[in-house]
Amino acid sequence: MSKFFNIKYVFGLVLVGAVLLPSCAFRPTYNRKTMTGLNSSNAHFAETKEDVTVLVRKLTIEDCKDVFDGRNFDRSNNEIIPMQVTVRNNSNNSVLLKKKNIILPLLDNETVSNALHYKTGARSVASALFLPGGLVTGIVYGVMSKGGNANVDQDIERKSSDVITVDAGDSVSALIFVDEDGYRSRFNMSLKTTGSAKRTIDYKVAL
């Protein structure tokens, strides 16, 4: 019996390792981070019109780990491609950045958040079955991941709002997301000015 238990225990460690190790960089906790605005040296596109500069960058895997607290998108399925947009407004009027004025098939925030969620199912079951105290470990991971995933949802909503106001003299960054089927390196986008003389400022983005 003791020998059988040892074999089961060793097998359990191997199984749990196989389940848990790939997620070492995909922790159940999540801390929201402030994005750093793009500049001319790290943007893939930059153009100024009427004293309003638009900068765009297609985020790399390393960029994502920094922006999303170590997490990244599951690359086994249709890949989600994030892009950062920074608007620097040196004009005398506020401008509006609206998702609907970015001519790309953008993904909704729920789809993006779910792709970043920490999945506890297999990890919790493996821990409960094979590790001493595994049931407690699984419960703890479940509670931590629930809080972490809620933070993910809030972070995506904050960084990828449908409408963003950029006041005169201010600079604001936002994220947009497409999947690999909808990604295009060239697309059009526009900003809307506020005030009595409303107008549209158009940009032809080429990454």
DSSP code of residue 49: E
Q: Which residue in this structure is represented by tokens 């790290």?
A: 42
Residues in the chain: 207
Contact between 156 and 69 (Cβ < 8 Å): no
Spell out the residues 6+ positions from residue 131 whose beta carbon is closer than 8 angstroms to its own: 12, 13, 16, 137
pLDDT in tens, the chain (207 residues): 555 445 555 545 544 454 444 444 446 789 999 999 999 999 999 999 999 999 999 999 999 999 999 988 866 567 899 999 999 999 999 999 999 999 999 999 999 999 998 876 544 555 455 555 454 444 444 444 666 899 999 999 999 999 999 999 999 999 999 999 999 999 999 999 998 889 999 999 999
C-alpha dihedral (160, 161, 162, 166), degrees to nearest 10? -110
The 3-state secondary structure of 109-167 reads HHHHHHHHCCCCHHHHHHHHHHCCCHHHHHHHHHHHHHHHHHHHHHHHHHHCCCEEEEC
pLDDT at residue 167 in the model? 97
- Which amino acid is residue 182, in one-letter code? G
In angstroms, rounded to a whole number, what is the distance separating the alpha carbons of residues 155 and 201?
A: 28
In angstroms, rounded to a whole number, what is the distance separating the alpha carbons of residues 175 and 38?
A: 12
Q: Is-above-0.85 flag for pTM?
A: no
pLDDT at residue 129 in the model? 54
Q: Which helix (H) or strand (E) holds 84?
A: strand 80-89
Computed from CA positions of residues 72, 76, 77, 80, in that sequence, does the dihedral angle turn out positive or negative?
Answer: positive
pLDDT at residue 77 in the model? 63
> What 3-state DSSP class applies to 16?
helix
In angstroms, rounded to a whole number, what is the distance separating the alpha carbons of residues 70 and 192?
A: 34
pLDDT at residue 74 in the model? 65
Contact between 201 and 50 (Cβ < 8 Å): yes
Beta bridge partners of 81: 178
pLDDT at residue 72 in the model? 86
pLDDT at residue 19 in the model? 45
pLDDT at residue 73 in the model? 82
In angstroms, rounded to a whole number, what is the distance separating the alpha carbons of residues 26 and 57?
A: 24
Count the neighbouring beta carbons within 10 Å of the beta carbon of residue 4: 8
